[in-house]
Structures are given as structure tokens and as C-alpha cells.
Structure 1
Amino acid sequence: MTVTWRHLPAPAREIAVAASAAVAAAGARNAGAYEPAVDRLAAADRAGLVLGGVVRLLLEETHPDGLDGDDVRQVLEGCVREVAPWHADVDPHVLLVLLASSLGVYDPGDDEAAPGPAAIARHAPLLVAHLLAVTGRPLESYLTAAFAEVARTELHD
């Protein structure tokens, strides 16, 4: 099933289309399709915010009793092991920042050494694809929920 995302404003639609392509390429372990997809994602403003929401939703679903340090380590190690054979540039530190940020225990805005938007765009789809494999559900439902959460937050700020 292909989702057009026509109901979203143009900037959000660009994030949704780019994220869908990048996560699909990551899930298929297709390095040739992954690179242009993450380049497009990196150019989309606020893509990291949306993908962080997707990661949080996936973590909540895959760990309904909460996460501890061992759970975070298992997710991180599992993702790196799965990705490294086809994407040698995977950086475990960036994945850890993504995990910690999505859980609200780390604010990369306060850290000069934090990975930038391009690094986030290159790694978030890897983590999302890894977590999606556990749920068996399509990315679209998580993206829709993440967009709704961003909209709610912006409305109340």
C-alpha cells in the first residue's frame, strides 16, 4: 500500500515521503536506495523531531513495561549488528543519542558535540526499520501518530 500523504502540509509531506523511502530502503538493506533517501530526509526541516517521535512510539510499543539500560543496550546492539554488514558507516554513538533523545533523557541542543541533522537523518531510519521489524506494523501508522503529537505540542506551546 502506498500512502500519498496529501492531507499533510508540504513540509510535513516531504518528511513523510522521505522518511518512508529511507525506512523502506533500510528495511530492504538497499544501500543504493538508502543514500538518496537519507539525503532527501536530511534536507527536510524538522525531520529529526518527527523521527524521534516515531522511535519513541516504537520503543513504547516494543517495551510496554518500560525500558531499562539493558533494553536500550539490546536495541542499540541489535540495530548495529543488523545494519553493519550493508551500511558500514553506522555510528553507534548517533544511534544512542537518538534513543536517549527520543526517550527524553538527553537534549542534544545542550551538547556542542551532539550529532547534527544530517547524522540524525542518516541513522534514524536505520533504528526505525530495526524496531519496525519487531512490530510487524507499517511505518505509516507511527508517522501519523508522530505528526499528530508534533501538531498537538505546537498548538499548546
Structure 2
Amino acid sequence: MTTTWRHLPAPAREIAQAATEAVGAAQARDAGAYQPAVERLAAADRAGLVLGGVVRLLLEEGHPDGLDGDDIRQVLERCVRSTAAWRPDVDPHVLLVLLAGALGVYDPGDDDAPPDPAAIARHAPLLVADLLAATGRPLADYLSAAFAEVARTELHD
């Protein structure tokens, strides 16, 4: 089943389409399709916010009793190991920042600049694809929920 995102405003539709392409390429381990998809994702304003919401939702579903340091380490190690064979440029630090950011515990401190949007776009789909493998549910479910959370947050701010 293919999800159409016609009900979304154009910027959100672009994020949904680019994220779907990038995560699909990551799931297929298709380096040729991955690069243009992440470039498109990097150009989409607020894509990192939406993908962070998807990561948080996936983590919450996969760990209903909460996460501890060992859980985060296992997610990080699994993602790096499964990705390194076809994406040798995978950066564990960027994945860790994505995990911490999705959980609301990322504090860059004085000496640590956050990853740029291009690094987020290159790594978030890898993490999402890895976490999706455990759920058996389609990405569209999580994207829809993440967009709803963003809309609720913007409405209350």
C-alpha cells in the first residue's frame, strides 16, 4: 500500500515523501537511491523535528517500560553494525545525538556543536529503518503520528 500525503500542506508533504524514500532506500540497503533521498530530506525544512518524533515513537513502542543506558547502547550498536556494511560513513556520534534528541535529553554543551541538517538527514533514516524492523508496522503510521504531535505542539505554543 502506498500512502498519499495529499492532505498535508506542501512542506509537510515534502518531508513525508522524502522520509519515505530515504527510509525505504535504507531498508533496501540501496546506496544509489539513498543519497538523492537524503539530499531531498536535508533540503526539507523541519525534517529533523519530524524524524525525531518518529524515532521517539518507535523507541517508546519498542520499550514500553522505558529505556535505560543499556537499551540505548543496544539500539546504537545494532544500527551501526547493520548499517556499516553498506554505509561505511555511518557516524555513531550522530546516531547517539539523534537518540538523545528524540528522547529530549540532548544538551550539546559548550564544546559540542549539534550535527548539521545534512548529517541528520543522512543518519535519521538509518535509525528509523533499524527501529522499524522490530515493529512490523509501516513508516506512514509513525509519520502521521509525528506530524500530529508537531501540529499539537505548534497549536499550544
Partner of 1:127: 127
Seen in structure 2, the aligned counterparts of structure 1 residues 110 and 63 have a Cα distance that, compared at 3 Å, is farther
Offset from partner CA, 1:3-22 (integer Å, 9 cap, x none):
11000000000000000000
In 2, distance between residues paired with 1:4 and 1:109?
40
Summarize the Cα distance change of 1:112–1:73 in structure 2 as closer, same or farther, 3 Å threshold.
closer
Contact 1:26/1:34 (CA < 8 Å) preserved in 2?
A: yes
Extract unaligned runs of 5+ from structure 2.
none
CA contact (8 A) 1:76 1:95 kept: yes
Q: Which amino acid aligns with 1:69?
A: G
For residues 108 and 26 of structure 2, the distance between their equivalents in structure 1, rounded to whole angstroms, comes to 24
1:89-104 to 2 correspondence within 5 Å? 89-104=89-104
TM normalised by structure 1 equals 0.97
CA separation in 2, counterparts of 1:110 and 1:24? 36
Q: TM-score, normalised by structure 2?
A: 0.97
**Alignment correspondent of 2:141:** 141
Verify the 8 A CA contact 1:101 1:108 in the aligned structure 2. Answer: no
Secondary structure at the counterpart of residue 134 of structure 1:
coil
SS in 1 for 2:76: helix
Superposed, 1:48-67 pairs within 5 Å as 48-67=48-67
Q: Partners in 2 of 1:8 and 1:127 — Cα distance?
A: 24
Aligned match of 1:76: 76
Identity within the alignment, %: 83
Residue identity in the other structure for 2:12: A
**Aligned equivalent of 1:4:** 4
* Alignment partner, residue 42 of structure 1: 42
- Aligned amino acid, residue 8 of structure 1: L
Q: What is the identity, as a one-letter code, of the residue corresponding to 1:5?
A: W
Deviations 1:79-136 (A, max 9, x none): 0000000011100000000000000001459775210111001000000000000001
Mean Cα deviation higher: 106-115 or 23-32: 106-115
Partner amino acid, structure 1, of 2:30: N
